Structure 1
């Protein structure tokens, strides 16, 4: 049940991230053309910044989940299996600590930005800064699930021996 809901949420997240990236490109393109014709669209820049903040953190979670981040497999693959596993757990622990710190510091930032407004949109800048704790939480969950999957994989390899 949980994996089905999680898979559904991951598809939604990936769709939203992709849509935001496309919308950013469209808004920036239209804004540049309008500006060159001396009719700037002021809201397009603010909306692009808002969408960019969300696209960055949602896409980072998608990349983490699909192993899209750059790794040093060339070096790590030269180590014996038990060292590779240790390095995986060490790296995962460091990632979890970083994401926890990111979430802890970004929540007060989000709260403090509620008075700051996007000039052309008239909405709180907290809508943009909220992408940081939401993205950090999503990546934290993804990292935990990857650790669980790695542990299950190691257990099944041990049983096969």
Structure 2
């Protein structure tokens, strides 16, 4: 199990690095595009590349956010319940998240296949590279959610996440 945990921790670091690279890429592409447009030589491909990076940054970033924090939580309301009720609500909420993510995968895969013939306007790559972020990111968030459910079930405490927490 330690080898699997180590591999997952490495994956988490790679994922976080990718999110940072995508964000920085978007900033560079949009800024460069604006500068070059101002001087009369627009970089039309930069907008498409930004859209591609944005799609992946959103879904990978959502997985990172789910791992580090309680992404969706109404704490003021939640804390008024007894501990056992909090546990039940928390686990129910995680199951609902799993169901929603499952629907994103179920609809995202056909969308990716359908988008395979569509190309970005200025690049010769398929738009399915952008739409693939939906099912891939959703599967990654499902893994994160299952880890949270298992951890909560085995420790009988609701994990609050935290900086650096991976698994």
Give the TM-score band, short-chain normalised.
over 0.9
Aligned counterpart for 1:119 among listed residues 118, 121, 125: 121
Give the whole-Å Cα distance in 2 for the aligned partners of 1:32 and 1:11: 32
Within the candidate set 23, 26, 45, 1:24 is matched to 26
Distance in structure 1 (CA, Å) of the matches to 2:70 and 2:36:
36
Q: Tell which deviates more after alignment, 72-81 or 6-15.
A: 72-81
Q: In the alignment, is residue 49 of structure 1 matched against residue 54 of structure 2?
A: no
Corresponding residue number in structure 2 for 1:7: 9
Residue of structure 2 equivalent to 1:37 = 39
Q: Which residue does the alignment assign to 2:68? A: 66
Aligned length: 155
Cα gap change, 1:68 to 1:25, in 2 (>3 Å): farther
Q: Which has the higher contact order (CA 8 A, sep 6+)?
A: 2
Q: Structure 1, unaligned stretches of length 5 or more?
A: 156-161
Query: Normalising by structure 1, what TM-score?
Result: 0.93
Partner Cα distance (2:70, 2:47) in 1: 28
> Matches of 2:23 and 2:154 in 1, distance apart?
35
Cα offset, 1:70, TM superposition: 4.4
